[in-house]
């Protein structure tokens, strides 16, 4: 992006399925945010084939908002062709069960003045603004296992491991160049960690921006508390798939797979059913994960240790 194209135009893509009650709270806040941003902001609701009249309702109540109906309800993966078709250099992806502060766009977008930045992720609070739910994501490898966690104490922009798939801005051309969200993780979870990690492997950074504030009605669109066990199993399965696809070299993968039976047994014995079930659930997709690993270009890739160190760092420079 050049000085003559600054501030860059943005597309805000809101993924929706039977969520008109959420949209009635989010879209007015996005209208205010678009008005506050000094550049062009195009707001698009991407409808995942709602069975309720969401499309007609949005067009009637929010005529300034574009509506695109996805080819099929493919969860977050429906966005891949939509992002590819956007002319804007920056694409912001949001869940529908949110509202945003009026000034949330500019703090995210300013980081794209640094050509090494792939994505910038927002500071997400619970709906009441009491509890912070995102921060700097950190990672480590121990005993052939991948660990990640939040540092919720950061108060300034920092690098971070991943950009949330429903609360972040992406450099569109690199999103498309990486192939977008990988359907390996269908129906959901870890596709955003995977995308950001693949960007880090190329040296493309992700930034956490505390000044960009979003309020999230947590799990309103995906999780059902009566199905918490299935949710935890899905998370564990995709954790395993992510590790097999991305982490380390072939020696690491061999160690990971060699320890998988022992990890299954110890998880089951200590009552960690989600990890045990996740290991089993990942097995049918093991071949797909390994094939995806083979397709990764590791000739100039950052190592896991280098990514862990970089994602834990403070910004070298914030470009205004």
Domain contains 306: no
Residues 133 and 241 in one domain: no
How far apart CA 156 and CA 205 sit, in angstroms, is 16
Asked if residue 111 lies in contact with residue 209, where contact means CB atoms within 8 angstroms, the answer is yes
How far apart CA 155 and CA 172 sit, in angstroms, is 27
Residues 157 and 195 in one domain: yes
pLDDT given for residue 129 in this prediction? 97
Asked if residue 276 lies in contact with residue 118, where contact means CB atoms within 8 angstroms, the answer is no
Asked if residue 21 lies in contact with residue 123, where contact means CB atoms within 8 angstroms, the answer is no
pTM as predicted? 0.94
Structure tokens given for 52: 């309720």
Report the domain count for the chain.
2
Task: Give CA separation, 226 vs 221, 232, 236, in Å.
Answer: 14, 12, 18
Domain contains 304: no
Domain contains 314: no
Residues 173 and 293 in one domain: no
129: left (phi over 0), alpha (psi -120 to 50) or beta: left
Residues 209 and 243 in one domain: no
Domain contains 97: yes
Residues 210 and 238 in one domain: no
Residue appearing with tokens 């669109």: 221
Task: Give CA separation, 271 vs 17, 65, 230, 268, in Å.
Answer: 35, 48, 15, 5
Residues 138 and 282 in one domain: no
Max CA separation in the chain (angstroms): 61
Residues 129 and 102 in one domain: yes
Structure tokens given for 188: 């959901």
Domain contains 90: yes
Residue 155, burial from CB neighbour count under 10 angstroms (0-12, 13-18, 19+): exposed
How far apart CA 100 and CA 34 sit, in angstroms, is 11
Residue 129, burial from CB neighbour count under 10 angstroms (0-12, 13-18, 19+): exposed
Domain contains 315: no
Residues 117 and 31 in one domain: yes
pLDDT given for residue 244 in this prediction? 97
- Last-in-domain residue among 193, 216, 239: 216
pLDDT given for residue 48 in this prediction? 98
Residues 150 and 238 in one domain: no
- Last-in-domain residue among 191, 216, 241: 216
> Residue 124 sits in a domain of what CATH number?
3.90.550.10
Residue 92, burial from CB neighbour count under 10 angstroms (0-12, 13-18, 19+): buried
Residues 165 and 253 in one domain: no
Taking 50 as the pLDDT cut, the residues of the chain under it are 317-320
Structural domain span for residue 251: 225-299
CA dihedral for 111, 114, 115, 118, sign (positive or negative): negative
Domain contains 129: yes
- Last-in-domain residue among 170, 186, 216: 216
Written as one string, the DSSP assignment of the chain is --GGGPSPPEEEEEEESS-HHHHHHHHHHHHHHHHHSSS-EEEEEEE---SSSHHHHHHHH-TTSEEEE-SS--GGGGHHHHHHH--SSEEEEEESSEEE-TT-HHHHHGGGGSTTEEEEEEEEEETTS-SB---EEEEEEETTEEEEEEETT--S-EE-S---TTEEEEEHHHHHHTTSS-GGGTTSSSHHHHHHHHHHHTT-EEEEEEEEEEEE-TTSSS--GGGHHHHHHHHHHHHHHHHHHHSS-HHHHHHHHHHHHHHHHHHHHTT-HHHHHHHHHHGGGHHHHHHHHHHS--TTPPPHHHHHHHHTSBPS----
Residues 96 and 71 in one domain: yes
Residues 20 and 121 in one domain: yes
How far apart CA 231 and CA 219 sit, in angstroms, is 11
Structure tokens given for 215: 């309020």
Domain contains 286: yes
């Amino acid at each position: 992006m050049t000085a003559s194209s600054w501030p860059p135009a943005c597309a805000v893509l809101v993924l929706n399925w039977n969520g008109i009650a959420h949209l009635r709270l989010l879209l007015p806040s996005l209208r205010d945010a678009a008005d506050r941003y000094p550049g062009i902001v195009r707001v698009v609701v991407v409808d995942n084939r709602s069975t309720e009249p969401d499309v007609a309702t949005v067009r009637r109540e929010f005529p300034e908002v574009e509506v695109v109906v996805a080819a099929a309800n493919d969860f977050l993966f429906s966005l891949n062709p939509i992002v590819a078709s956007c002319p804007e250099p920056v694409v912001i992806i949001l869940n529908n069960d949110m509202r945003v502060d009026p000034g949330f766009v500019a703090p995210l977008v300013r980081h794209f003045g640094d050509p090494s930045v792939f994505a910038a992720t927002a500071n997400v609070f619970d709906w009441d603004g009491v509890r912070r739910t995102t921060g700097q994501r950190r990672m480590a490898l121990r005993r052939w296992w991948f660990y990640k966690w939040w540092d919720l104490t950061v108060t300034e922009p920092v690098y971070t491991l991943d950009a949330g798939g429903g609360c972040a801005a992406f450099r569109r051309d690199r999103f498309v160049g990486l192939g977008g969200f990988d359907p390996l993780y269908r129906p959901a979870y870890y596709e955003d960690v995977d995308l950001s990690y693949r960007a880090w492997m190329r040296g493309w950074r992700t930034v956490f921006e505390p000044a960009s504030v979003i309020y999230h009605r947590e799990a309103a669109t995906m999780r059902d508390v009566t199905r918490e066990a299935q949710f935890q199993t899905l998370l564990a399965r995709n954790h395993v798939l992510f590790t097999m696809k991305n982490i380390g070299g072939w020696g690491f993968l061999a160690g990971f797979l060699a320890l998988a039976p022992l990890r299954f047994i110890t998880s089951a014995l200590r009552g960690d059913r989600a990890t045990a079930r996740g290991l089993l659930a990942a097995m049918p997709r093991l071949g797909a994960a390994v094939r995806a690993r083979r397709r990764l270009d590791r000739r100039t890739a950052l190592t896991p240790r280098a990514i862990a160190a970089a994602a834990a760092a403070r910004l070298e420079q914030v470009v205004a």
